[in-house]
């Protein structure tokens, strides 16, 4: 007795699929589902990365950074999110930024205007 359908049985639309055909269909469906799940994970990871960047940018806007004095330029105080000077040594808080602005050798950045966000407590 033959294991699978005969050549004439394959052409019948009402025939029952073989176990092999059923399992191949399941494998194709699972592969499709896996591709969809991987795409969704990539989308969610990209969203998470963007959100983390937005949070870090917002947090940096609430901090300040000091650019060291150069031989031909004074020390500059920047907002934490100022692109004119990338963070090298870290950020400083509001109190330290206020103290820095009072120092004669420190000037505020003309691009980000850090003094606008500083208030005395």
Q: What is the pLDDT along the chain (121 residues), one digit of tens a residue?
A: 456 666 566 667 788 999 999 999 999 999 999 999 999 999 999 999 999 988 887 777 778 888 888 888 889 999 888 888 887 668 888 889 999 888 989 999 998 888 887 766 5
Neighbour tally for 116: CB within 10 Å:
9
Give me the pLDDT at residue 10, please: 61
Q: For 61-112, where are the alpha helices, taking DSSP H only? A: 94-102
pTM of the model: 0.55
- Do residues 100 and 106 make contact, with C-beta atoms less than 8 angstroms apart? yes
Contacts 24+ apart (CB under 8 A), 52-56: none
For the chain, give percent helix, strand, coil, nearest 5: 50, 10, 40
Kindly list the strands in the beta sheet with 64-67, ordered across the sheet, starting from the edge strand earlier in the chain: 64-67, 75-79, 106-108
The pLDDT value recorded for residue 49 is 95
Cα–Cα distance for residue pair 64/90, rounded to 1 Å: 9
Q: What is the pLDDT of residue 8?
A: 62
């Amino acid at each position: 007795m033959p294991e699978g359908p005969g050549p004439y049985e394959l052409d019948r639309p009402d025939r029952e699929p073989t176990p092999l055909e059923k399992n191949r269909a399941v494998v194709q469906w699972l592969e499709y589902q896996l591709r969809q799940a991987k795409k969704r994970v990539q989308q969610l990871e990209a969203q998470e990365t963007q959100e983390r960047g937005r949070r870090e940018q917002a947090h940096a806007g609430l901090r300040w950074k000091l650019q060291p004095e150069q031989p031909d330029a004074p020390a500059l105080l920047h907002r934490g999110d100022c692109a004119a000077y990338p963070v090298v040594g870290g950020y400083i808080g509001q109190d330290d930024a206020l103290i820095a602005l009072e120092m004669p050798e420190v000037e505020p950045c003309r691009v980000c205007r850090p003094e606008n966000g500083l208030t005395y407590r």
